Amino acid sequence: MNEPPIVIIGAGIAGLCTALAAAPRKVLVLSRGSAGNDGATPLAQGGIAAALGADDSPAQHAHDTVIAGAGCNDLEAVAVLTTQAAEAIVWLQQQGVAFDRDGDQLSLHLEGGHSHARIAHAGGDRSGQRIAHALAAAVAKHAAHVTLQSGCDVDALLLREGRVVGVRTRDHNGQSQQIMAAAVVLATGGIGALFACTSNPPSANGAGLALGLRAGAAGRDLEFIQFHPTALAPNDGALPAQLPLISEAIRGAGARLCDGDGRALMAAIDVRGDLAPRDIVARRVWQARHAGASTWLDARSIGERWPERFPTVFAACQAQAIDPRREPIPVLPAAHFHMGGLATDLLGRTRVPGLFAVGEVACNGVHGSNRLASNSLLEGVVFGRRLGAWLADDIATPAATGALQTLALGPPLDVANWQRLRQLLWQHLGPVRSASGLDTALATITNNPSLAASWPGELARALLNAARQRAYSIGAHYRSDDALGTHSPKVRCCSPSG
């Protein structure tokens, strides 16, 4: 009898790194899109953070990570991330990733929240795309142990005596299939598509998180959602499903945020100015827009090198008839990254036997309440490799005894109710929150039968309840009704929630 494979759901950086590291175990990677083009990884403009400079160290990288996370980070997870970052860069190079270089050295860049230039790029602002394609090519070379199956959704987990032992898939034609597994790894990405303004693709809709929660996995820090301060605002005012991102590296290269009169937005807000951590900058842009001001990123100082240094952003601006060499770029904040997720240990284990999670859908506490720029791709590599290596050595094939239970997601939403939910969460679960707004959102979902019965509505309630329970401001979770009005880790402490 053939041994069932390890099933990995998602072909982004975390899923592909897990698959490569699981050799020689048989692995089946399931994805909606093709490997190298699935999820948010190929959209990432920033690179990978690693303390590679002569004046830098993993300890300083860890310090910056904890400062950005407002002290809510799991320090052991941070130590793993930062001490293994340099090795992750070397390993990626071995998989075929060609990082940008200055002569014989990697070219290192500065982003918000970092005290040193430590961001390695691949192809300028095409880093995510270059890395994803290199990993997909590496997986293709390991066809003896990794099989890729694209064009399918996983809509149910199969359990036997409380242990996850497989999945049910559904293809674009509606045909379903049951697949048995030695272990199931959720590498399904984030939740940005639940918000009206997002940098995430439509596939980042939280389905993997919802499925894990339904199976009994614990949620952790579900309220910690990062909003990127600079998405490209549409010139016609109509919000598309996904907003083009204006990389933080552009502010690292000297761009400045301003209002319609040219006044600096971050003046007197933070000593780090435009390179303050994302939660602070995104909140300032949000507040300025809600006060009636227009918000712009003035990057004219980059000059004629724009197409060479930031080709992706330049092309997105040109598509809206904007020339960033000669005029400011209209920007607005957008849902970008979920620091919370399914609670895991440092090996990706959830509390449900046989169910693992890695990457953005997981939460081991490494990011705290606000992710430091360019730590997300790094997380996928470091913890994906750790999980894959552990699965290769330690996971046993479950015994085929007991009745098989199918645990499916609830009903989906139609297009109109999806839009209602996205607007609702953007309005009340965005960069600035309050008890009254959160209560309004919860009541709206409860009183709408379609929303209340759906799996997106169920997930939205979990997010809103987590935000409601944390009645103070910290990191990316900002409560306008917090009496102390602080997010200082000296005053508050974090605990798992959700």
d(CA 234, CA 187): 31
Residue in the block written with tokens 């907003």: 243
Residue 210 CB burial class (10 angstroms; 0-12, 13-18, ≥19): buried
Nearest to 250 by CA among 223, 230, 270: 230
Nearest to 38 by CA among 101, 131, 111: 131
Residue in the block written with tokens 């329970």: 469
For residue 383, give the 3-state DSSP assignment: helix
Dihedral in degrees, nearest 10, Cα atoms 397, 400, 405, 406: 60
Residue 262 CB burial class (10 angstroms; 0-12, 13-18, ≥19): exposed
Dihedral in degrees, nearest 10, Cα atoms 53, 476, 237, 251: -20
Q: Classify residue 284 as left (phi > 0), alpha (psi -120 to 50) or beta.
A: alpha
Q: Dig out the tokens for 274 from the structure.
A: 């435009």
Which residue among 32, 160, 278, 422 is the active-site one?
278
3-state secondary structure 416-465: HHHHHHHHHHHHHCCCCECHHHHHHHHHHHHCCHHHHHCHHHHHHHHHHH
Active site residue 422: no
Tell me 360's DSSP state: G
As beta bridge partners, residue 151 has none
d(CA 343, CA 77): 13
Residues annotated as catalytic are: 278
